[in-house]
Structures are given as structure tokens and as C-alpha cells.
Amino acid sequence: MSAWFAQHLTALRDALRRLLAMPLNTLLSLLVIGVALTLPTAGWLTIENLRKLTGDTPGVQQISIFLALNASQSEVGEIESRLQQASAGSWRFVPRAEALKRLQEAEGMAEIIGSLPKNPLPDAFVVTPADSRPESLESLATSFSTWPKVAHVQLDSAWVKRLDSLLRLGKLIVMLLAVLFAGALVTITFNTIRLQILAQAAEIEVAKLIGATDTYIQRPLHYFGLLQGALGGLCAALLVTAGSHLLTPPVAELARLYGTSFTLQGLSANDIVVLAAIGGTLGWLGAKISALIHLRRIS
Amino acid sequence: MITANAVTKRYPEGHEALKNVSFEITAGEMVFLTGHSGAGKSTLFKLLAAIERPTSGSIVINGQNLSALRRNAIPYLRRKLGLIFQDQKLLFDRSVLDNVLLPLSIVGHPTKDAPRRAQAALAKVGLPGRGKAFPIALSGGEQQRLAIARAVVNRPAIILADEPTANLDAASAIEILDIFRAFQQVGVTVLIATHDPLILARLKPRILRLDKGEMSEQMPDQPLAGATP
């Protein structure tokens, strides 16, 4: 067991030595791998942030119930008790007078409203459903519209649906990008390992002649691919983190102009570990394939 | 220790490098393989090291039939052999000590003990304290000693050397031969391929002679132990 461990340690040290032996080459490879991993990672992060943004906006998941203009006080009470029974979530009653007052406060509206002979606005309920899935919002809105004295039910579900499918499309695109760049990473490692094998052909030949197993020869190459991939992953994490730091102030400013607060979510420590692990795994894979193919040519 | 039985090696283009070659070398013997260049010495060397396989016939080393050897068993056979190549195959990008450490690393020798063992091997071939030098800084004879040190550091039971004294002056060649004899005296089986008549005349050893792929044998005129350098 300890001999096995020592051999792996030797191979790891050997791989590190080879990485450090040509710092410029290594740096370039890491940068290429880093950029390849940055694109899907940045895409994923953007989608995560958009999801968080929509999840945080309660306005999207509200249903407005507008009553008929001639609805009486008791009929309003009737709706209220029905809402209670349906246990649809929380709601707020907006009397028509209050609605008018609020509209008057809006810029430029006071004059228009002043010219009206009477209040054109109905009484309304704004319901925030407990269950915010698009399907249940839809069915809730349908049942509201059958109630007496309900003139109109407004649901922003179409908007939610559109955004939802847009996010799903985005996710698919990111996934395709990820597959593409994973292929690129494997190819990059494949080629670096090929060059490594060419550079060490003499050493590999001697080692084979004096009794080295294929495992012994391949082990440092596998570690090389693994290290290069993992470091490339860290490189990508660095690039993405730098990017999100640069974008945080303008995004916050934009959110402030829209009257909300929003902080851009960067990569967590966990995300960085996962990214390095993915890079390492792909690098190892590229190295394994390359070693299998190219070592066969050295007898 | 080494038994060859009716070994024939024919290359794809039709050239027959070895024809029906049979011989036996017992443990602790020192035997020379001789013949003109192109007589099949190197081919036999390659067959013994399992670098190539015979077309027909069998070679048994230390009880292992090489023809029946699976590909992944070859490394373990080679670890029992101390191979010295005609072109030495030293690694010039690493130090003398690192060259000798390579076989130890391959067999997974404990890392702590390996340098001591490698230094001992260097001392045995007359290169004590030269570990930090690079092979390029060594003379021809010293490079050959380094090749021997690398071959014996794992203490093999058999040493196979292909033209170990080629390109050496007579004095260096004799020193190299003395090293091989020292190993033979502690029980190692040694087979040396050479076409150097000077050495053969001097040692009067058991000689396997190859001529156009056919082998004839010449027994020693006198016991090897009594041979004087």
C-alpha cells in the first residue's frame, strides 16, 4: 500500500516537474483551457442570476381581480370570504377611491384624472398566491373569473411562462456550449500529452526496455492531464470571478434605476471546487486517450 | 538459466537472421556470443530480452518460456535481466545518479533507500561519487560503466550485454570485462555479445559463435576461474 502510494506520489511530482519545466507553454495551455471553461461557466452563472432575479420579484406572481363598477359593499365582502375559503394565499383589497388617489400621484396623471367626470376605476383585490407555479396560477385565475361581480382577472402568467421557457432555452444553449468546450478541453490535453510523449520518447523507450509497465509510463502523463485540467478550471474560476466583480456595480446601478436591489451572484467556493474537478476529470480523460494511442508507437 | 531450442527468426521480408539455434547456459556461467556483424548477435539479444519473438522454437529464461509470455508479463521478465545495449541508451538530460535511479523507480523500490542503492551500484562499477555529473561529461569507458550500473542496480540474476566494449580502447575494455567477471564470481549469469578477438583470445571463455544465423560452439580451453586478466 505504501509502495503504491509512493509510486503515485513520484508520478505526481514528475508531472508537476514537467508542468514547471516549461512555464510559458504551461501558462498558455492553462489560459486556453481556462477560456474554454469560462464561456459555459459564465453562461451558467448568468442563468442562475436571472432565475434568482425572477424568483425575487413577487409582482410576477400576483393575480389582480377587478370587480364590476356597480359592486356593492356586501358583494365585496362576499368575494373576501370566498378568498378566505379558497385559502389562495395572501391578498389585499384596493378600494376604487384609493386606486384613483394613487393614480393621481403618478406623474402627469393628475390633470387627466381631474378632467374625468367620475372615478372610472373599480374595486380590486391583489392576490399573492401561496402556490406560484404557472399552472396553478392559471387555474386559480380561471376560478376567480367565475365568481359573481368579477369583471376581469389579470394574471401575468404569460410573461412568467415566456421567461421560464427562455431560461430553459438558455440552459440548453449553455449545456451545448459546455459539451462543445469539454470536447475542446479533451482535445487540448490530448495534444499536450502527445507533445510530452514525443519529447520524452527516449526516456519512455529506455524505461520500457528495462521493465517499466505501461501503467508506470502512463501514470505521470495522467497526472499531467489531471493537473493541467484542474488548474485550467481554477483559471476559469478566476476569469469568471473577475468578470462578475467588474459587472457587479453597473448591475446594482441598473437595479436601483428600476427601483429594486439586486446583487450579482458570483461563484461560490463549492462552485470553484466543482469547476476544478470537472477540468481535472476532462484533462485526465484527454491524457488517457492520448497515452493509449501514442505510447503504442514506442515499442 | 537460459535455454534456446531450435530457435529460428525470419523477418517479414524473408531474411532469416537465426537458423535453428540451440544452446544452454547454466546459472553462474559467463558466456560470449560472437560472430561477424550481421551474423545474428543482435537478433538473438533482442529475442532474449523479449524485444522480438522467435518465428519458431523456444527460449526459456529462468524457467519462463518467452514464446508463451503475455504482453503485460514482459516488463516483469525484463526486471530479472540486466540489459546493456549496444548504444547504451543513457538519458543525457538527467544526472548519472538519476540514470541509475530509473530502474529502482520502475520496480517501486522505497524512495528513501534508492539513492543509497544507486550509489552502491556506481561504486561497484568504479564511478563512486560521480552521481551528480551528467553523462555527457563522462568518457566513453565511464559511460559504459554507467550503463552497467543501471543494469545491475536491481541485482538481476542474468546480465545480457550487447557489444559492451565496442568503441573502447583495450585498457578500458579490459576494465569493463573485469567488472562483468566480478559479477559472475558472485553467481550472476553473464552473456556478452562481442566481435572483439582481443578479448576472446585473452579470456579463453566458452564461446557461442554465430555465422549467417547458424550457431557453433567452442568450449573453453581452460577453466574460466583460472583465466588471468
For chain B, the average pLDDT equals 89
Q: Rg of the Cα trace of chain B?
A: 17
Spatial neighbors of A49 by CB under 8 A, at least 6 apart, are: A264, A265
Mean pLDDT of B81-95: 93
pLDDT reading at B39 higher than 90:
no
pLDDT tens per residue, range B100-139: 999 999 998 888 899 999 999 999 999 998 999 999 999 9
Side chain identity, residue B12: P
Least confident of A140-149, A160-169, A203-212, B56-65: A160-169
CA distance B61 to B44: 13
Question: Does B106 touch chain A if contact means CB atoms closer than 8 Å?
Answer: yes
Mean pLDDT of A253-276: 87
Predicted pLDDT at B157: 94
Among B76, B85, B93, the residue with its CB nearest the CB of A211 is: B76
Angle, CA of A128, A131 and A133, to the nearest 5°: 110
CA distance B213 to B40: 5
pLDDT tens per residue, range A118-139: 888 888 888 888 777 767 777 8
The rounded percent of chain B whose pLDDT value lies above 70 is 96
CA distance A129 to A66: 16
pLDDT reading at B200 higher than 70:
yes
Least confident of A33-37, A98-102, B65-69: A98-102
Predicted pLDDT at A107: 62
Among A6, A202, A210, the residue with its CB nearest the CB of B103 is: A210
Least confident of A45-49, A53-57, A232-236: A53-57
Predicted pLDDT at B128: 92
Q: State pTM to two decimals.
A: 0.75
Secondary structure in 3-state letters for A58-126: HHHHCEEEEECCCCCHHHHHHHHHHHHHHCCEEEEEECHHHHHHHHHHCCCHHHHHHCCCCCCCCCEEE
- Positive or negative, the CA dihedral A96, A55, A172, A266 is positive
Predicted pLDDT at B225: 39
Scanning chain A, the segments in alpha helix (DSSP H) are 2-21, 23-56, 73-86, 96-105, 109-114, 134-145, 157-199, 201-209, 214-257, 269-295
Predicted pLDDT at B228: 42
pLDDT tens per residue, range A56-82: 554 456 788 888 888 888 888 888 888
Question: In chain B, which among 44-63 make CB contacts under 8 A with chain A?
Answer: 49, 51
Cell of B77: 521478465
pLDDT reading at B15 higher than 70:
yes
CA distance A260 to A255: 5
Question: Which chain A positions have a beta carbon within 8 Å of B151's beta carbon?
Answer: 210
pLDDT reading at B227 higher than 60:
no
Spatial neighbors of A182 by CB under 8 A, at least 6 apart, are: A278, A282
Among B78, B89, B106, the residue with its CB nearest the CB of A216 is: B106
For chain A, the average pLDDT equals 86
Q: What is the Cα A166 distance to its own chain's centre?
A: 13
Predicted pLDDT at B14: 84
Verify whether the Cβ–Cβ distance B83 to A214 is below 8 Å.
no
pLDDT reading at B224 higher than 80:
no
Least confident of A62-71, A90-99, A151-160: A151-160
Question: Which chain B positions have a beta carbon within 8 Å of A202's beta carbon?
Answer: 89, 91
For residue A3, the chain B residue with the least C-alpha distance is B108
Verify whether the Cβ–Cβ distance B89 to A203 is below 8 Å.
no
Least confident of A32-36, A227-231, B67-71, B177-181: B67-71
Predicted pLDDT at A211: 92
Angle, CA of A242, A246 and A247, to the nearest 5°: 120
Which of B64, B111, B148 to probe by mutation at the A interface, max A CB count within 10 Å? B111
Predicted pLDDT at A57: 53
pLDDT tens per residue, range A165-222: 888 899 999 999 999 999 999 999 999 999 999 988 999 999 999 999 999 999 999 9
Mean pLDDT of A40-58: 80
CB contact at 8 A, B7 and B58: yes
